[in-house]
Structure 1
Amino acid sequence: MKKRYSDEQIIKAIKEHEAGAKVEDICRNLGISNGTFYNWRSKFAGMEVSEAKRLRELESENNKLKRLLADKLLEVEAMKDVLSKKW
């Protein structure tokens, strides 16, 4: 089962580590692997909660735009196929 953690929880865990808490203890308390913690740290280290929320919003918007672009490129290819057929 995959748990979702809020930006606040992630940043709090990183700040605990920066304050001297052991990674193993933090991971045990949250029920996550060391790898997950280090992924969080590489992505969110030095951020405040508002910055992390903005990052998630931008990532979501970017994914939406990528999907729209892919759809439009498929439409263009389909139109090229239709127009290239001999009648």
Structure 2
Amino acid sequence: MTEESKLAFQANKSANIIRNLCDLYGLLLQDAADIYYQSDTSELIEDGIADLHCRSDKYLATIIWDEYQERQKQSAEQIRDI
């Protein structure tokens, strides 16, 4: 696979995951993109770690959403502890 085709594949994968975040959780496109690109999982996907890019887009969207929810929960707990 050429570098150009790898980049195209990654861009398509990212777009599909973002679209799934919108569809599954009723998010606006910009919000879904922000959640995706701020996630640790997106970095793992782009780095090809653990063959995550082979997983379904819907599955990865749920993983990223769970990660986002956990981050939100931790932020709320930190604010509460202040």
Q: TM-score range by the shorter chain?
A: 0.3 to 0.5
TM-score normalised by L of structure 1: 0.42
Larger Rg: 1
TM-score normalised by L of structure 2: 0.44
Structure that is richer in helix per residue: 2
